Amino acid sequence: MRENPLLGLTFILVPFSLLSIGGGPSIFAPLQREVVDVMHWITAREFIDLFSIARVAPGPGAMLATLIGWKVAGWAGAIVATLALFVPASILTLAVARVYDRYRGRDWHTALEKGLAPVAVGLIFAGAISIIRLSGDGALTWAAAVGAGLTLTLRPKLHPFVVLFAGAGLFVAAEMAGLWPVVAP
Amino acid sequence: MMQETPPKVPLRDIFRVFFTIGASSFGGGVTGWMHRITVGERGWLTNEKFLAGLALGQVLPGANVTNMAVYVGQVLRGTLGAGVALLAVLMGPFFLVIAVATLYDTAIKIPGFHSAMDGIAAAAVGMVLRMGTMGALHGCRKAAPGVIAFGVFVAIGILQWPLAPVALVAGPISVALAWPRGPGRGGLDA
C-alpha cells in the first residue's frame, strides 16, 4: 500500500466516501490523519494549503482529495483519488434514488417527500451559516448574502454570475476601504 | 403540480447543465444555483421533488453537489442520466482545482484575492438563503414542519451537532408526521 500510491489512495478514500455523511467536511480530520501522519505523503502545511485551494476553486470542498492524489501520484493519482472519493457514495445515492423513484405515489413515498422537505430546509439554513462562518462571520458577509438573495428574488432572470462577481467586487472595495480584513486561508 | 413522468431530457442537455453548474460552483452554495436552473429555468422537476432529493443527498454520504447531480440525473434519465450528470459536474472542478493549485503561489500574492473569494462565497450564501426561504414557504407553513426545520437548523447550524444522529431522529419523526391521513387511508397498507 505504501509502495503503490494509487492502491493506497483507493484503500483510504473508498471507505471515506461511504462515511462522508454531510459531504467533505465530515472526513477532513480522518483524511489528514491518514495522508499526513500515517502515510507521510504530504506535510501538515501542504494539507492546509490544498484545503484552501479546494475551497477557492470551483467544485465541492471534497476536491481536496483530487489535489492530494495529484500531489502524491500526478494525473493518475488525481483521477484515482477523485473516482475513489466520489463514485462509491454516488452509487449508494443512485441505488436509494432508484428505489425511491420506483414507488412514486404510495403513501409512504408522499410522507417521505413531505417529511424530508422540512429536514432539508433546516439543513439548507445550517449550511448557509456554516459557509458564512468559514468565510469570516461579519456584518458585511450577512449584508452581501441577504442582498444577493433579494436581488435574485426581485430579478429572477439575472445571471447568478453577475451577483457572484458583484460580491467579489464589493469585498475587494471593502478591503481597499479598510473595512474587510484579508483573512489568511 | 406533481409531474408523474417528466419529459425525456436529452443526455447532452444534462451534461451541459451539470458541467456549467460544476465549473462555476465557487464558494459553496451551489445547490442554490442547481435549484434555480433545474427547477426554475428548465422545469426539469418540481420544487417538492428537488427538496426531497436534497434531503436524501444530504443524509446520504457524499458531497451535496454530486449527490444532487446523481439524483436529478436519475430522475431525468435513469442510471445513464445519473452517470452523465456525475461526470459532467466533476469534470470542470477536476481540471480547475488542479489549475488553481498550480497558480496558487502566484494568485495568493494578488491584492484582494482572499477578499474576492470571501465576497463570492457571501453572494453564493444568498442563493442558499433564497432556496431555504422558498422551501420554507412551500413546505413548512404548518406548525409541525416548521418546528422540525427550525430544530434541525439549530442542532446542525448553531449547536453543530453531528449530522447522522440528528437526521436519524428528525427524519423519521418528520416523515411520520407527514403521513397522509384521512378516510380510507390505511397508512401502512401501501
Query: What's the pLDDT tens digit per position in A65-112?
Result: 999 999 999 999 999 999 999 999 999 999 988 887 777 667 877 787
- Per-residue pLDDT at B92: 94
Question: Which residues in chain B have their CB less than 8 angstroms from residue A30's CB?
Answer: none
Chain A nearest C-alpha distance from B33 (Å)? 8
Whether the pLDDT of residue A1 is over 70: the answer is no
Domain of A155, in residue numbers: 107-176
Contact (Cβ atoms closer than 8 angstroms) between residue B135 and residue B55: no
pLDDT digits over A125-153, tens only? 887 887 777 666 688 989 999 999 999 88
Residue that finishes a domain, picked among A74, A102, A130: A102
Within this chain, do residues A134 and A68 fall inside the same structural domain, yes or no?
Answer: no
Within this chain, do residues A88 and A170 fall inside the same structural domain, yes or no?
Answer: no
Question: Strands (DSSP E) along chain A, which ranges?
Answer: none
Whether the pLDDT of residue A23 is over 80: the answer is no
- Per-residue pLDDT at B190: 35
Residue A168 within any structural domain of the chain:
yes
Which residues 122-181 in chain B show a CB within 8 A of chain A? 122-133, 135-136, 138-140, 145-146, 148-153, 155-158, 162-164, 167, 170-171, 174-180
A103 vs A107: CA distance, rounded Å: 9
Indicate the residue of B86, B124, B153 with minimum beta-carbon distance to A122: B153
Residue A182 within any structural domain of the chain:
no
Residue that finishes a domain, picked among A102, A126, A159: A102
Within this chain, do residues A9 and A94 fall inside the same structural domain, yes or no?
Answer: yes
Contact (Cβ atoms closer than 8 angstroms) between residue A93 and residue B79: no
Within this chain, do residues A157 and A85 fall inside the same structural domain, yes or no?
Answer: no
**Interface with chain B: mutation pick from A13, A56, A68, A163, highest number of B CBs within 10 Å:** A56
Whether the pLDDT of residue A3 is over 90: the answer is no
Chain A nearest C-alpha distance from B9 (Å)? 17
pLDDT digits over B159-173, tens only? 878 777 888 899 899
Within this chain, do residues A61 and A121 fall inside the same structural domain, yes or no?
Answer: no
- Per-residue pLDDT at B188: 44
Residue A185 within any structural domain of the chain:
no
More confident residue, B120 or A118: A118
Residue A95 within any structural domain of the chain:
yes
Looking at this protein, which amino acid is placed at residue A88?
P
Question: Are A119 and B25 an interchain contact pair (Cβ–Cβ within 8 Å)?
Answer: no
Rounded to an integer, what is the distance from CA B27 to the centroid of its chain? 15
Chain B nearest C-alpha distance from A36 (Å)? 18
pLDDT digits over B62-74, tens only? 888 999 999 999 9
Please compute the mean of the pLDDT values over residues B163-185 and round it to a whole number: 80
Residue A55 within any structural domain of the chain:
yes
- Per-residue pLDDT at A185: 43
- Per-residue pLDDT at B132: 86
Residue A87 within any structural domain of the chain:
yes
Grid cell in block for residue B171: 427524519
Q: Sorting pLDDT into bands at 50, 70 and 90, what band is B120?
A: confident
Within this chain, do residues A29 and A87 fall inside the same structural domain, yes or no?
Answer: yes
Residue that finishes a domain, picked among A75, A102, A129: A102
pLDDT digits over A149-180, tens only? 999 889 877 877 788 889 989 999 998 988 88
Count of structural domains, chain A: 2
CA nearest neighbour of B59 among B156, B124, B140, B154 = B156
- Per-residue pLDDT at B189: 39
Buried b (16+ CB within 10 A) or exposed e, A168-184: bbbbbebbeeeebeeee
A86 vs A90: CA distance, rounded Å: 6
Contact (Cβ atoms closer than 8 angstroms) between residue B130 and residue A152: yes
Q: Phi and psi (nearest 5°) for B183?
A: -60, 130
Sign (positive or negative) of CA dihedral A52, A55, A61, A65 = negative
Within this chain, do residues A96 and A114 fall inside the same structural domain, yes or no?
Answer: no
Please compute the mean of the pLDDT values over residues B128-154 and round it to a whole number: 88
Within this chain, do residues A23 and A73 fall inside the same structural domain, yes or no?
Answer: yes
Residue A29 within any structural domain of the chain:
yes
CA-nearest residue to B166 within chain A is: A119
- Per-residue pLDDT at A52: 72
Q: Sorting pLDDT into bands at 50, 70 and 90, what band is A50?
A: confident
Q: Is B97 on the interface with A (CB under 8 A)?
A: yes
Within this chain, do residues A30 and A85 fall inside the same structural domain, yes or no?
Answer: yes
| Residue A23: half-sphere exposure toward Cβ, Cα within 13 Å | 23
Please compute the mean of the pLDDT values over residues B143-152 and round it to a whole number: 93
Taking CA atoms, B58 is separated from A94, B31, B63, B69, B174, in Å, by: 13, 11, 8, 12, 16
Within this chain, do residues A12 and A91 fall inside the same structural domain, yes or no?
Answer: yes
Rounded to an integer, what is the distance from CA A175 to the centroid of its chain? 26
- Per-residue pLDDT at A135: 65
Within this chain, do residues A168 and A144 fall inside the same structural domain, yes or no?
Answer: yes
Q: Which of A24-33, A95-104, A174-183, B96-105 has the highest mean pLDDT?
A: B96-105
Which of the residue ranges A54-58, A59-63, A138-142, B19-23 would you say has the lowest mean pLDDT? Answer: A54-58
Q: What percent of chain B has pLDDT over 70?
A: 89
Q: Sorting pLDDT into bands at 50, 70 and 90, what band is A22?
A: low
Whether the pLDDT of residue A19 is over 60: the answer is yes
Whether the pLDDT of residue B93 is over 50: the answer is yes
- Per-residue pLDDT at A181: 65
Residue A65 within any structural domain of the chain:
yes
Within this chain, do residues A17 and A90 fall inside the same structural domain, yes or no?
Answer: yes
- Per-residue pLDDT at A123: 82
B158 vs B147: CA distance, rounded Å: 15
- Per-residue pLDDT at A30: 78
Q: ipTM more than 0.85? A: no
Question: Are A164 and B124 an interchain contact pair (Cβ–Cβ within 8 Å)?
Answer: yes
Whether the pLDDT of residue A184 is over 50: the answer is no
